[in-house]
Amino acid sequence: MSIVRFCFITCCLFGLACTAQARDYRYSDAHLHYVDFFQESDGMPKLLAAMDAGGIDHVMISGIPVAKKWHENEPKRPRYYAGDDAPVYWYSATDVLVAAALEELDPAQRKRFHPFLSGFNPNDKNADAHIRRMLELHPGIWQGIGEIFTRHDDVTALTEGDTPRANNEALARVYHLAAEFDLPVLLHSNITSKRERNPLYLQELEEPLRNHPHTRFIWAHAGTSMELHRHQEKLEFLLPTVKRLLDDYPNLYIDLSWTMLEPYLLDGDGKPDAQWVALVERHPTRFVLGSDVVGHFDNLGAGMAAFAPFLDALKEKTARRVARDNFLALLPRTGAGDEGVSRR
């Protein structure tokens, strides 16, 4: 056998071996908004098609708790909440839109969706009563609460009314209700401001974690946002802060959506960050993946697949938990999509 032929066969066998070892992930999207900031959506057929194409078995589905106003003085309709200075306002009907979309589905399709309630004002101490009414109006449908918008940089600045805080009295009542109904809470609470290079607002998150130990909190993209990164690029204090919180509060879970992929999970060259890999391995049941898409689903599959390099750096059992099973384990005991998924 010639050396060239031997080398060719060896390379082919090596390639086959690598292919055999490649992981094929199934996903749960733990952070998806069915509508955008104008309460508009591509619709359920397009979402189902994107899920099937992207290997996404389950999604957390919620509305957007605010709507962008098209101000009387603006000649052109804005395309995004930050498109102009017009405010956004709390919009309760977002949950009605989600419920109506789910009613279009057959029972098998509906099992893939895990709707969260979000349409309430987090500064209003009537919020828990509103959520209770929605639970009664649609019994057996709602499986969580959120995404609750508290500190959210430009969204906060544009929202009519007071600045929401994760540790206010109105939300304390919501957290009590969440524990009563075994509902996880997806909470957006920025860890800092645009310019402060320290966890300026951490107390607002930590206080509910401490005061509501029976409520499961999912911290949306670990308190980061695109606007924070525009000013600070990377929050160097984030990793040690998340480490401590996970050690101190067993009711905290981390949503790795949106701004968490880069520059935290992957570096500028697309390589997994060893410290984040080690942290996920230390707490293999405490992390979930999400796309954080808002009403439009063309990039849903690609967004979830972008996590594959990080997942590949984890042990296979941990990777499959993070990709799919951890989210299902967070749902109410009667609402999980699969039998046998455990929180442990």
Residue-level pLDDT at 245: 98
3-state helix, strand, coil in the chain (%, to 5): 45, 15, 45
Q: What is the 3-state secondary structure (H, E, C) of 221-268?
A: HHHCCHHHHHHHCCCCCHHHHHHHHHHHCCCEEEECCHHHHHHHHECC
Measured from the Cβ of residue 118, the count of other Cβ atoms closer than 10 Å reads: 25
Residue-level pLDDT at 79: 86
pLDDT in tens, 172-229: 999 999 999 999 999 999 999 988 999 999 999 999 999 999 999 999 999 999 888 8
- What number of CA atoms fall less than 13 Å from residue 231's CA on the CB side? 12
Average pLDDT, the chain: 91
Inter-residue contact 228 to 220 (CB < 8 Å) = no
Inter-residue contact 122 to 52 (CB < 8 Å) = no
**Partners of residue 59 on adjacent β-strands:** 29, 113
pLDDT at residue 20 tops 60: no
Q: What angle do CA 161, 229, 282 make, to 5 degrees?
A: 105
pLDDT at residue 162 tops 90: no
Residue-level pLDDT at 154: 83
Where do the DSSP E strands lie in the chain?
A: 27-33, 56-62, 66-68, 88-90, 113-117, 144-149, 185-188, 217-219, 252-255, 287-288
Domain 27-330 has CATH 3.20.20.140: yes
Distance, in Å, from the CA atom of 273 to the CA atom of 270, rounded to the nearest integer, reads 9
Instruction: Find out whether the peptide bond into 204 is cis, omega within 30 degrees of 0.
Output: no
Q: What angle do CA 188, 143, 262 make, to 5 degrees?
A: 35
Residue-level pLDDT at 8: 47
Q: Which of 97, 127, 251, 99 is nearest to 182 (CA)?
A: 251
Average pLDDT over residues 148-163: 89
Q: pTM surpassing 0.85? A: yes
